[in-house]
Structure 1
Amino acid sequence: MANKVELGNTGISIHPVGLGANKIGYENEETNTEYGGKIITQAMNQGLNFIDTAFMYGHGLSEEIIGKTLKENGFRNDAVLATKGSHRYEGGQMVHDNTPSFLYKAMDDSLKRLQTDVIDLFYIHFPDDDTPKYEAVGALQRMREAGKIRAIGVSNFSMDQLKEANQDGYLDVVQGNYNLLERSAEKDLFPYLLENGISFVPYFPFASGLLAGKYTKDTILSDRQKKRPQFQDETYLRNVEKVEYLHKIADKHGVAPAHVVLAYYLTLDPVDAVIPGARNREQVTDNLKAVEVNLTADDIQLIENVFPVQA
């Protein structure tokens, strides 16, 4: 079992492999709560304590399942809960709202669904178009001072928005799109995060499964997949060839390419944790193999040569 690590400079201790709970609220079955509860229970029993959710994951259902499971099993004190808010309905449409008044409401609603008195990490899920970002983060700081949250995060913010949001130095964590095929964050974002003591949590770590080694040049792609840039024509074939190098490293370590990818992310300075999802209990246990992979300097160099940072 991996040693716990500190999430940035928050004083919060987490397992470096967390659980992305976006799928838990999406099972269209009557057994949804049981299904999600079993995944959460498996994670906690395995020592995985960092659970990442959001209102938008099933419109509160993921949060409800997590809250119910943790309370019924006495796990709350051992869990580190991260959730996100910014979405609300307006005229039948989903819009983003970062106003302090809305964030206060979103926070209180999440607290109720999670059945807890404090949320360990609360993110602004997406920026809106109008609210000054320092005002939005300032509202979260007041929630922290009131004891409702322990750490402050933002997700999907541009560099300019991030700098504005952090003008008072309140930010602890940034969550954003990052993987071996999309490394642009390393150019400007990572240096800023390191300079300001902010932790980075990547999402889309496997680039829709490409980096997990699920595809070959002969795989028949769906129309939906074909619309994604990394799956198109020659780009797709080049990506599959690159992933062959991950297979070679994985074979050497006796694991799967997905474990190599997660292990690599954990070698990056701003990254304290990864949050792969899981559709069942077996996947929870499988994800934990990533912390057992000790990549060599040659492994890391090969990965960075094959998947260079884009110019």
Structure 2
Amino acid sequence: MLTRLIPSSQQLLPVVGVGTWQTFDVRGTAAYPQLQQTLTTLRAAGGTVIDTSPMYGRAEEVVGDLTSQTEIPDAFFYATKVWTQGREAGIQQMEDSLRKLRRPAVDLMQIHNLVDWKTHLRTLRDWQAAGKVRYVGITHYTNAMHDELAQILATETIDFVQFNYSILDRNAEKRLLPVAAERGVATLINRPFTKGNLLAQVRGKVLPDWAAELGITTWAQFLLKFLVAHPAVTCVIPGTRNPDHLADNLLAGEGELPDEAVREKMAAYVRAL
């Protein structure tokens, strides 16, 4: 799989990971074998990033259960979030996340949807200095918050920013992606299929013949490779519990990437469907 540098550390990160919203929020263990195979598929393809949050129901606990059963739990890149008001509540929630994930420290702790971000950022600076988190990030999922995310990146030292971006939802290209690139901030892309609507929109449609030149054989690969090809994108994190769907997604992180002219051609083709 292709990799991109995390600017603040120069660590390489695989360009496709997996999100856990709804998909890993399961009751009991009946779904564990399928989810375990999903994580096995992720690692077999060279992926590492698992993005979760305390607002995703049992997802953190499920990720902790599954990764602790593997032979290489340290091989994953664990990204979670703090999503509450107040310093003490934030500390308690982050401690709970470490316990649920069964980790002494987490790779990336993100301030979810900028909730009380100034308070949590101070705490995360201390946690980062103590080695309890490696990277600090901020997140949102709506276009309306892109300017605020960009403003924070311009004034604060942040390692990661996570936000929505897709082939038909390109608002992030206006300011947020350029500011992230200028400030040396790694990016995680959520809602790469525009909350799933894109896959429904292209279902049954024919891929263009020229997609094969990029090794693209499915619409998921087409839509994700468009994003991965943007030079300021570090990693895309489509959510799924299905190992076959994930295997398909992960192929977007391999092979040749389209240049800017081809990216525009890709976007125009999807708009015309």
Partner residue of 1:198 out of 185, 189, 192: 185
Instruction: Tell me which residue corresponds to 1:240.
Output: none
Instruction: Tell me which residue corresponds to 1:148.
Output: 132
Any runs of at least 4 consecutive aligned residues in structure 1 with deviations exceeding 6 A, and if so which?
Answer: none
Sort the Cα spacing of 1:198 and 1:205 in 2 relative to 1 into closer, same or farther, 3 A.
same
1:152 positional shift: 0.8
More moved, 31-40 vs 155-164: 155-164
d(CA) in 2 for partners of 1:156, 1:108: 22
Sort the Cα spacing of 1:105 and 1:160 in 2 relative to 1 into closer, same or farther, 3 A.
farther
Q: Output one character per residue of 1:246-268: Cα deviation in whole Å (capped at 9) or x when no partner.
A: 54443554511221221111121
Instruction: Tell me which residue corresponds to 2:13.
Output: 14
Instruction: Tell me which residue corresponds to 2:224.
Output: 262
1:65 aligns with 2:35: no
Sort the Cα spacing of 1:159 and 1:285 in 2 relative to 1 into closer, same or farther, 3 A.
closer
Structure 2 regions of 5+ residues with no counterpart? none
Number of residue equivalences: 266
1:102 positional shift: 2.0
1:301 aligns with 2:264: yes
1:83 positional shift: 0.8
1:181 positional shift: 1.5
Give the aligned residue type for 2:59: S
d(CA) in 2 for partners of 1:205, 1:198: 19
1:282 positional shift: 1.6
Sort the Cα spacing of 1:293 and 1:13 in 2 relative to 1 into closer, same or farther, 3 A.
closer
Question: 1:53 touches 1:82 (CA, 8 Å); kept in 2?
Answer: yes
Structure with larger RCO (C-alpha < 8 A, sep 6+):
2
d(CA) in 1 for partners of 2:194, 2:167: 8
d(CA) in 2 for partners of 1:215, 1:161: 32
1:151 positional shift: 0.5
Give the aligned residue type for 1:123: Q
Question: 1:201 touches 1:273 (CA, 8 Å); kept in 2?
Answer: yes
Sort the Cα spacing of 1:160 and 1:288 in 2 relative to 1 into closer, same or farther, 3 A.
closer
Partner residue of 1:111 out of 98, 121, 138: 98
Sort the Cα spacing of 1:69 and 1:168 in 2 relative to 1 into closer, same or farther, 3 A.
same
More moved, 203-212 vs 72-81: 203-212
Sort the Cα spacing of 1:167 and 1:267 in 2 relative to 1 into closer, same or farther, 3 A.
closer
Q: Output one character per residue of 1:100-132: Cα deviation in whole Å (capped at 9) or x when no partner.
A: 22221111111000001110011111233xx4x
Give the aligned residue type for 1:143: W
Question: 1:85 touches 1:107 (CA, 8 Å); kept in 2?
Answer: yes
1:23 positional shift: 3.7
1:42 positional shift: 2.7
Structure 1 regions of 5+ residues with no counterpart? 87-96, 220-242
